[in-house]
Amino acid sequence: MSYTLVSEDDAPWRKLLRPVIKTLRLAYIQGTTVVKLLPSERAIQLYYKYRRKSYDLQWAMDPGYRKGLDRLIEQCCEPGDRVLDVGCGTGSATVIAAGVAREVVGIDLSPDMIELAQEKVAKHQLTNTTVITTSVEGYHPEELFDKVISSFMIPHVKPQYRPAIYSCMYSFLKPGGLVGLFGSRGECCEVYETRQEIQDNLTRAGFEDIQLYDIYDIYRIAVARKPEVPKS
Ligand SMILES: C[S@@+](CC[C@H](N)C(=O)[O-])C[C@H]1O[C@@H](n2cnc3c(N)ncnc32)[C@H](O)[C@@H]1O
């Protein structure tokens, strides 16, 4: 149950640079363990109040992040879809999905991140996109979604609460809908999920057809389906 979706280019100069790039990526991703110090929703909101200005700039330094977002959308989103981006942050995945899907909704706990997402939506003149400040747990959509995507949100959720977040994502989907997750790997940095953990959490929530794709050296995409006839 593991595929390599994006392998690294074999050009000689790339081979030489690869260990250096991997070291830089690992150092950056290790920095995200700071989220372990955020004990509550309020603390996460405060953190992003001050972190939001440097957020996009930091990710812009690693083309692997943008590549992963593009692959996530390619794997999950189709024209005609109604898509939910869970923990959308500044809306990077939201706006890419909006270029493909019929309608996109982004939700995030942080009003400061949502403000930046709103600016992006306006800048791209997206008429099919709405972004809302709400926690995953507090969100109750009036209409179900064809696809749910989420990138780099799960590390904010303590491992014991992750099953509840996966259950929310499951409940937001129509039968037969897909969930697509993008993040780093628990094998590289402890705040992310290992292959086994992500498979266990998705399975426990009721998802099936789980596929894991490695992106470059530290990223991973997981895609899974809500059964057409959900188990009761
Ligand atoms: C690392 S950022 C990722 C943002 C964006 N998805 C990206 O790929 O750049 C994590 C985001 O998850 C949000 N978040 C954390 N816990 C959340 C929760 N329980 N409900 C909704 N959003 C949450 C944070 O406010 C933050 O904006």
Per the listing, tokens 């150092």 go with 27
> Is the pLDDT reported for residue 65 higher than 80?
yes
What average pLDDT is seen over the chain? 92
Pairwise CA distance, residues 211 & 180, whole Å = 10
> Is the pLDDT reported for residue 9 higher than 70?
no
129-133 β-sheet, strand order: 2-6, 208-215, 219-225, 173-184, 145-151, 82-86, 103-108, 129-133
Residue-wise pLDDT for 106-158, tens only, equals: 999 999 999 999 999 999 999 999 999 999 999 999 999 999 999 999 999 99
More confident residue, 121 or 22: 121
More confident residue, 16 or 154: 154
Question: Ligand 1 pocket test: which of 38, 44, 160, 192 has the largest number of ligand atoms within 8 Å of its C-beta?
Answer: 44
Q: How confident is the model at residue 232 (pLDDT cuts 50, 70, 90)?
A: low
Sorted by where each begins, the domain ranges of the chain are 2-225
Q: Which residues pair with 154 in a beta bridge?
A: none
**CATH classification number, 2-225, choose in 3.40.50.150, 3.40.50.1100, 3.40.30.10, 3.20.20.190:** 3.40.50.150
Diameter over CA atoms, the chain: 54
* Cα–ligand 1 centroid distance for 155 (angstroms): 9
